[in-house]
A and B are shown apart, each in its own frame.
Chain A
């Protein structure tokens, strides 16, 4: 904890430095501030709602955005923090009520933001995008989750939200364990599998994951993606075409996982493990590899004390699970839609984005050269590598509202032997088609 506070404080200090640097530079371009300044917002209140922790990267950056906002507009911010699950349960009613926040963070994806967009509970932001030029700041793959069509399917249609950060999935490895067995950081699938074999021979389970929660499903998806191109992702996620559930991509994924379980690379106890359990195994130094997302990074930095860890992208793949993070939306009952847009725009500014990156998050519109913290740099570096190959491919459970549970149950069956790979694929196809065939 002490370590983390120190880290956050350092990030704040660095952020403040970048900020002063930026604001002095910002004086040269008075056009946008002049336009905002023509309206007097003092005495007005903007209710902002989000569910990020106060010392998370987003929390730190957005607190800074609130300060800037209050200073520039003269309005005050009423910050309401909530919990992800709470808002998930109540947003549909809340955003359409007198209690609605003026601007809120909300969960991206078809079943969540897409649904709210389809029933008209969140505002169409096309005009705001045109006015503030947000589309130019967001890379391809990141802005997919900001657009929803009239059925609430992402990827096309109008803008309904603004992603402020990104997230993606990669390989965490234990440097000390790798060094102990004379192994290099794997850069190809062969490297990775031979490293797995070395550890398995030595009696160490090489890869930890969880079949009870998201990690194993994401690993399965990554394996399929490593054999796929963008058209597979479009079919799978955006329903542009029929997915071949016994095609080479998915067969490779299920068969590889089944082989790894047989070879002891993945323990059969993962059926009963949560993501937290898997993460703890890695943090405790019991396993050399853990495949999971950037949301673990800050935790790893603060909690791993007994060894050095490193991060690297999954080898031999152009596509990677990941997406823009959760999005800012403006509820239909927002009392201050204009102020809300100004606030969103401030969170997209380079100084706020840089602070987000410094604090361990993945900014979507930052100048990487502004970021000086080496841990943050390491993460942003491999994120940029994914973005350079236009690799963000979303998450396996997005296509249907129930696929998260469906996928986890099939993964459990695959591990404990209830399903052979072909059976697993058939079962997944049935789950997937039962929903997707109605919307394709």
Chain B
């Protein structure tokens, strides 16, 4: 919250950087800066805890506070995690599932919203509402019927069960967002394209998609992250050890009454590395914000 309140102030300060250098900071600026630093610390704190504790031996962990430095660097947690769990396999499953969902859901959203937003079909508000139901229904309700469906189709423990489910769920949100965006799409551009003899397919591919591409790439990143973090439905559909995703793999480390905490911490540390790499690659897309395309 603190970072949110500070951003307008710093934004208004940035156009005159030369002034900032010469004049001393006002007390309110100092306060805002301290708040921003505190906010950043809050965000970094869990990571710090992970780093501190992932390299402790179980005895060291038991005998010290979570904030203490490890007595000696101990890699047994990381080693146990790596040896007992097939992390590369889970990582591949997660990337494959999230990647496919991101791509397929964006394609589906574009096609749906083209019909609803540009095509202006009758009763589009209701159609969008029906689409949104996929997001509004609690996943617990989908658990049993979808499980039986995939059981009959022979898709249990198959990544496609999760990919199909989440392509539908994510594209429901995508359709909602893109349909309202395309509803305000300038008619002049579409008419100009039609005058030039472009077919509908051509208009979609060569006119609309390039213009809303920033929004699409942001959507794709969000779909990827949302699907990556999904837990309940993958838990239901993916039952064999080979089909687990990263969050499910981490859950495996929780015991009935006890948890091997250092292994869990080490596993968590390892499993956020791909997420951090992903963030670094797509950082620019993420910060562009979901409404980026709406301004154009």
Residues of chain A having any CB pair with chain B under 8 Å: 1, 3-4, 51, 53-54, 80-86, 89-90, 93-94, 97-99, 107, 214, 275-276, 280, 283-284, 293, 295-296, 299, 302-303, 305-306, 326
The answer, yes or no, to whether B135 is at the interface (CB within 8 Å) is no
A82 to B85, CA, bound (A): 11
Q: Does A280 lie within 8 Å of B147, measured CB to CB? A: no
> Taking A90-B239, A94-B239 as contacts, is the C-beta distance between A303 and B62 under 8 angstroms?
yes
**B240 near A80: Cβ-Cβ < 8 Å:** yes
- Size bracket of the B interface: 35 or more
B38-60 interface code vs A (CB 8 A; 1 in, 0 out): 00000000000000000001110
Which of A54, A83, A85, A99 is B156 in contact with, Cβ under 8 Å? Answer: A99
Contact B144 A93 (CB under 8 A): yes
Given contacts A284-B62, A303-B59, A306-B63, whether A80 and B241 have CB atoms under 8 Å apart is yes
With a CB–CB cut-off of 8 A, which chain A residues contact B63? 283-284, 303, 305-306
Of the candidates A54, A81, A90, A305, the one whose C-beta lies within 8 Å of that of B241 is A81
- Cβ of B268 within 8 Å of any chain A Cβ, yes or no, is no
Quick check: A98 and B151 within 8 Å, CB to CB? yes
Distance from A129 Cβ to chain B, minimum over Cβ atoms (Å): 26
CB pair A81–B235 under 8 Å, yes or no, is no
Is the pair A275, B62 in contact by a Cβ cutoff of 8 Å? Answer: no
B251 touches A302 (CB 8 A): no
- B210 CB–A CB distance under 8 Å: no
A83 B251 Cβ-Cβ under 8 A: yes
Interface residue B248 (Cβ < 8 Å from any Cβ of A):
yes
Chain B 164-179 residues near chain A, CB threshold 8 A:
none
Q: Quick one: which of B80-96 are within 8 Å of A by CB?
A: 80, 84
By a beta-carbon cutoff of 8 Å, the part of chain B in contact with chain A is 57-59, 62-63, 74, 76, 80, 84, 143-144, 147-148, 151, 154, 156-157, 232, 235-236, 239-241, 248, 251-261
Given contacts A80-B240, A99-B240, 16 further A-B contacts (CB under 8 A): A1-B58, A1-B80, A80-B241, A81-B241, A84-B255, A84-B256, A85-B254, A89-B235, A98-B151, A276-B259, A276-B261, A283-B63, A295-B257, A295-B258, A303-B62, A306-B63
What are 21 pairs between A and B in contact, CB < 8 Å? A53-B255, A53-B260, A82-B252, A83-B253, A83-B255, A84-B254, A86-B235, A86-B252, A93-B144, A97-B151, A98-B151, A98-B156, A99-B156, A275-B257, A276-B258, A283-B63, A296-B258, A302-B58, A303-B58, A305-B59, A305-B63
What are the residues of chain A within 8 A of B251 when measuring CB–CB?
83, 85-86
Cα A283 to Cα B143 with chains together (Å): 41
B76 to A, closest residue via Cβ: A1
Complex Cα spacing A280 to B65, Å: 10
B45 to chain A, nearest CB (A): 20
Q: Complex formed: what's the CA distance from A357 to B257 in Å?
A: 19
Cα of A86 to Cα of B144 in the assembled complex, Å: 15
A305→B60 CA distance, assembly (Å): 10
Of chain A, the residue at the smallest CB distance from B146 is A93
Q: Name the distance in Å between A272's Cβ and chain B's nearest Cβ.
A: 16
Measured CB to CB, the closest approach of chain B to A323, in angstroms, equals 13
In the complex formed, the residue of A with least CB distance to B147 is A93
Nearest CB of chain B from residue A277's CB, rounded to whole Å: 11
**B252 to chain A: which residues have CB within 8 Å?**
81-83, 86
Most A CB atoms within 10 A — which of B156, B252, B256?
B256
Whether B248 lies near A86 (C-beta < 8 A) is yes
* Best-buried of B76, B143, B147, B232 by chain A (most CB within 10 Å): B147
Chain B residues positioned under 8 Å from A293 (CB to CB): 257
Note all chain A residues with C-beta closer than 8 A to B154. Answer: 98
| B148 contact set on A, CB distance < 8 A | 93, 97
Say how far A282's CB is from chain B's closest CB, in angstroms.
10
Measured between beta carbons, the chain B residues less than 8 angstroms from A51 are 255-256
Nearest chain A CB to B9's CB is how many angstroms away? 38
- Nearest chain A CB to B61 CB, angstrom units: 9
Min CB–CB distance A329 → chain B (angstroms): 16
CB <8 Å contact, A280 and B256: no
Q: Which residue of B lies closest to A97 (CB)?
A: B151
Q: Which residues of A are found within 8 Å of B236, using beta-carbon distances?
A: 89-90, 93
Q: Known contacts A81-B241, A283-B63; is A97 also within 8 Å of B255 by CB? A: no
- A296 partner residues in chain B, CB cutoff 8 A: 258
B67 CB to closest chain A CB (Å) equals 14
> Which of A99, A107, A299 sits near B151, CB closer than 8 Å?
A99
Docked complex Cα distance between A326 and B257 (Å): 12
**Contact among A80, A85, A280, A302 for B239, CB-based, below 8 A:** A80
Alpha-carbon gap, A147 to B235, bound state (A): 29
Bound: A419/B253 CA distance, A: 37
B240 touches A90 (CB 8 A): no
Of the candidates B57, B144, B157, B258, which one forms a contact with A1 in the assembled complex, judged by CB atoms under 8 Å apart? B57
Nearest Cβ on chain B to A127's Cβ, whole angstroms: 27
Which residues of chain B have C-beta atoms less than 8 A from A214's C-beta? 257
CA distance A283 to B62 in the complex (A): 7
User: How far is the CB of B35 from the nearest CB of chain A, in Å?
Assistant: 29
Among residues of B, the one whose C-beta sits closest to the C-beta of A49 is B239
Tell me which residues across on chain A come within 8 A of B260, comparing CB atoms: 53
In the bound assembly, the distance between CA atoms of A299 and B259 in angstroms comes to 10
Q: Among A51, A93, A107, which residue has the most Cβ atoms of chain B within 10 A?
A: A93
Closest residue of chain A to B262, judged by CB? Answer: A1
Bound form: Cα–Cα A295–B257 in Å: 7
A303 to chain B minimum Cβ distance, whole angstroms, is 5
For the complex formed, measure the closest distance between the CB of B124 and the CB atoms of chain A, giving whole angstroms: 37
CB atoms of B62 and A280 under 8 A apart: yes
In the complex, what distance in Å separates the CA atom of A83 from the CA atom of B257?
11
